Amino acid sequence: MDGEVAEDWVRVNVDEATKMQAQVGGAGAVIRDSQGAFVAATTCFLSNVSLALHAELLAIKNGMELAQQLGYQKV
DSSP 9-57: --EEEEEEEEETTTTEEEEEEEEE-TT--EEEEEEEEEES---HHHHHH
Question: In the prediction, which pLDDT does 7 show?
Answer: 80
The pTM of this model reads: 0.84
User: Does pLDDT of 2 surpass 60?
Assistant: no
Residues 33/39/45/46 CA torsion (nearest 10 deg): -20
Tens of pLDDT, residue by residue over 17-74, are: 999 899 999 999 999 999 999 999 999 999 999 899 999 999 999 999 999 999 999 9
**50: domain range?**
11-69
Q: Is residue 59 part of a domain?
A: yes
Q: Is residue 3 part of a domain?
A: no
Q: How many domains does the chain have?
A: 1
Q: Is residue 5 part of a domain?
A: no
Question: In the prediction, which pLDDT does 6 show?
Answer: 79
